[in-house]
Amino acid sequence: MLKHLQLTNIGPADTKLDFADRLNLITGDNGLGKSFLLDIAWWAMTRKWPGELNSRLTSGRVALPTDKKKKAEIDFSFTGVVKTKKHVSTFEPRLQNWSIPPGRPANPGLVFYAMADGSFAVWDPARNYWRTKAEEALDRPPAYVFSPKEVWDGLQRDDGTWLCNGLIRDWAGWQKEKGRAFESLAAVLAALSPSTAEILLPGALTRISLNDVRDMPTLKMPYGQEVAVVHASSGMRRVISLAYFLVWCWEEHLKAKELMGEEPESKTTFLIDEVESHLHPRWQRTVIPTLLQVMSQLTASAQVQLIAVTHSPLVMASVEPMFDEQHDAWWDLDLLRPHENDVATVAFSRRPFVRLGDVSRWLVSEAFDLGSARSLEAEKVLQQAALILSEKEIDHAKATTLDASLRKLLGDTDPFWIRWRYVGEKQGWLQ
């Protein structure tokens, strides 16, 4: 459970965030450092960069200072299983990496990270933490980091040991076993489905090639066909890989804890980038509430913290019924340029969450900073029309030309027509 992060001299902005203990939503334009912040959050809790552990990843590399001559710091704290751990890490230019606090690091509980490109990482205290005092002299067993292909086909260590069978083999194995894992997978798939009419239902196993000997899981489509999971749409593959990843992590955690005769972890942190990626609006509207619900049910965790990046107004609108300022926070990244010729700066702020009730109002809110939810052309003509309406003496010829443009660009039911027609008819430039 991440409590705070304070960054000095790294990334686009110096910033301090005090995270909420349940849901943290992060918005902001492209390139302002949202994914970068998730990488740092992951590193703070696990001490390794995802790109350091798996060279096939195209992101998640070690964070470098902005000004190499100045001190760079990552100040962080998280509530671990036993206590709250606070540490200030500085960049060590000779190591080209960050100082690590001495002694046994605190256990942050389970940490999941779903990256925007379909890569996943998990840090499981049952498997990535020293089990005995004697092991502490050795380097800690690294976290599991999967490139998108490895999520499906399996993850191997450099020495050839299989760390994970991958979605295709595990799903097929679980389905044949008819045990707890398959039940969980089917339940998570059903829960992550957007409606009862559109449930992700596993079909019969099949083969898709003479050369691929693997039994291939399928999904039952509403149009009556069973489609191999590798042929499913990007949106469905995103949801099923999320479902598989959660179930796999939890199953392996349970198995490890059973072996050790211990209780499962009670704390889970889930970092998820571009949570809506590939999802249809219907799915975007359900993904956050259902993820929270699925994670607390699946892991029986007393505490689940979700830190999610989004570019979707639907995601913002979807959390309105559940948002509670005591447990949830909305963080927004903005580019500030007080004067036209100033160099812009990036600022992170915690915004008060006000229910807007409507997706288009979210688009024009501080979360997305659009001038309007219409086309850019319509937005420009509307600005001119609004300007003309504010004039004392309206130039009728100008208004008539604008009226023609508005007819081309606005929908018949656009609310702007009411005001436009009212003033136009009153002043006589509209019949």
Ligand X SMILES: Nc1ncnc2c1ncn2[C@@H]1O[C@H](COP(=O)(O)OP(=O)(O)O)[C@@H](O)[C@H]1O
Q: Which is nearer to ligand X, 61 or 149 (CB)?
A: 61
Rounded-to-integer distance, Cα 390 and Cα 384, Å: 10
404 touches, from ligand X, Mg ion, none (C-beta below 5 to 8 Å by class)? none
Q: In angstroms, what is the minimal distance from the CB of 344 to ligand X?
A: 13
Closest by Cα among 6, 1, 5, 11 to 35: 11
The residues binding Mg ion (CB under 5 A) are 35
> Is the Cβ of residue 62 or residue 190 nearer to ligand X in the bound state?
62
41, 6 in Cβ contact below 8 A? Answer: no
Q: Which is nearer to Mg ion, 35 or 241 (CB)?
A: 35
Size of the site for ligand X (CB under 6 A): 15
Which 50-109 residues touch ligand X, going by CB under 6 A?
61-64
Q: Of ligand X, Mg ion, none, which one does residue 101 interact with (CB within 5 to 8 Å by kind)? A: none
- What φ, ψ does residue 404 adopt, rounded to 5°? -65, -40
d(CA 386, CA 340): 24
Q: Which stretch binds ligand X (CB under 6 A): 6-14, 183-191, 220-228, 377-385?
A: 6-14
Q: Which two tokens stand for residue 229?
A: 């999971």
Q: Distance between CA 64 and CA 152 in Å, rounded?
A: 31
| 34 scored as a contact of ligand X (CB under 6 A) | yes
Choose, by CB under 6 A, the member of 1, 2, 7, 32 that binds ligand X: 32
* Chain residue at closest Cβ approach to Mg ion: 35
- List of E strands, 135-284: 144-146, 155-156, 162-164, 201-202, 218-220, 226-228, 267-272
Binding partner selected for residue 61 from ligand X, Mg ion, none, CB under the kind-specific 5 to 8 Å limit: ligand X
Contact 147, 173 (CB under 8 A): no
240 binds ligand X (CB under 6 A): no
The three-state secondary structure class of 289 is helix
Among 11, 125, 217, 313, binds ligand X (CB under 6 A): 11
Q: What angle do CA 137, 141, 142 make, to 5 degrees?
A: 130
Is residue 84 within 8 A of residue 3, CB to CB? The reply is yes
Smallest separation (angstroms) from ligand X to the CB of 252? 29
- Bridge partners of 110, per DSSP, are 268
CB of 286 to ligand X, least distance (A): 23
Residues forming a β-bridge with 89: 74
Nearer CB in complex with ligand X: 68/131: 68
Report if residue 424 touches ligand X, rule: CB under 6 A: no
State in angstroms the smallest separation of the CB of 331 from ligand X. Answer: 11
Q: Nearest approach, Cβ of 233 to Mg ion (angstroms)?
A: 22
Among 5, 7, 12, 97, binds ligand X (CB under 6 A): 12
Cα separations in angstroms, 176 against 182, 290, 326: 9, 27, 44
Give the binding range for ligand X (CB under 6 A) out of 27-35, 94-102, 156-164, 337-345. Answer: 27-35
What one-letter code names the amino acid at 354?
V
Minimum gap (Å) between residue 243 Cβ and ligand X: 24
Q: Give the CA dihedral 61, 157, 216, 189, nearest 10 degrees.
A: -50
Closest distance between ligand X and the C-beta of residue 310, in Å? Answer: 11
Binding site for ligand X (CB under 6 A): 10-12, 28, 30-36, 61-64
